[in-house]
Amino acid sequence: MRVETQNGSRALDLFFYIYNVVKRRRYRKENKRVQSGAVVFFGDSITDRCDLKTYYPDIYALNRGISGNTCSDLYHRLDVSVCEARPSKIVLLAGINDMMNLERSAEETARRYEILLRALREKCPDVPLICQSVYPGYDAEKNKKNRGLIFPIKALTPDIIRLNERIRELCGTYGAVYVDVFSRLQRSDGTMDPAYSDDGCHPNDAGYRIAAEVLRGCLG
């Protein structure tokens, strides 16, 4: 995820640009040596930070997450990140950066999500596609665990809920499986239970374990 700093976003944008380039080069090299049939986890920093060996130890999986990515970013790296890896399943998580960083509405984010979903279906027509709900968030306080880096996204709760409704609908249209992780991480007001994140957005160990528990039934 991106977060604004007092120095502005220019340096941060440069960092994420370079990070994207480095990651794509790494994926291109990996694709030449990995076996086909992996479960490819495709997404932004929530995926990028997920240690697949820890949370999915019995599954042959590839992590193709890149921090800061939006739905459009994922669309533009679909081939090198997913298709060229010849996956057996695709697990998608996207959308929060569109709303948090670019201030897109739930509907505009859903439109871009649909473009990505349609492209995945066209390029990988026979590969099972699993779409995670966007996770909830909350307004965390700065502390040692998050090292002062927080993501106050409580105000986005109604947009996250609406986007998840649209993702569920799109899954029906495009023959994908919708997995509701949101409900397992939320409190009664729709925000994330602080037990599952230290910074208000990214899962901690407990959060990733809950997500893995929900997803495991779809991964075989």
Q: What is the pLDDT of residues 111-166, one digit of tens each?
A: 999 999 999 999 999 999 999 999 999 999 998 899 989 999 999 999 999 999 99
Residue 2, domain member (yes or no): no
Residue 1, domain member (yes or no): no
pLDDT band with cut points at 50, 70 and 90 for residue 9: low
Residue 3, domain member (yes or no): no
Residue 71, domain member (yes or no): yes
User: How many domains, in total, are found in the chain?
Assistant: 1
Mean pLDDT value across residues 27-34: 95
Residue 5, domain member (yes or no): no
Quick check: 6 pLDDT over 60? no
Residue 4, domain member (yes or no): no
pLDDT for position 160: 98
Helices (H), 102-189: 106-123, 157-174, 182-185
Cα distance between residue 187 and residue 121, in whole Å: 34
Could you tell me the residue range of the domain that residue 65 belongs to? 10-219
Choice between 13 and 57, residue whose per-residue pLDDT is larger: 57
> Which residues touch 61 (CB under 8 Å, ≥6 apart)?
38, 39, 40, 41, 52
Q: Give the domain CATH number at 123.
A: 3.40.50.1110
Residue 25, domain member (yes or no): yes
- Of 40, 107, 96, the C-alpha closest to 67 is 96
Residue 110, domain member (yes or no): yes
pLDDT band with cut points at 50, 70 and 90 for residue 11: confident
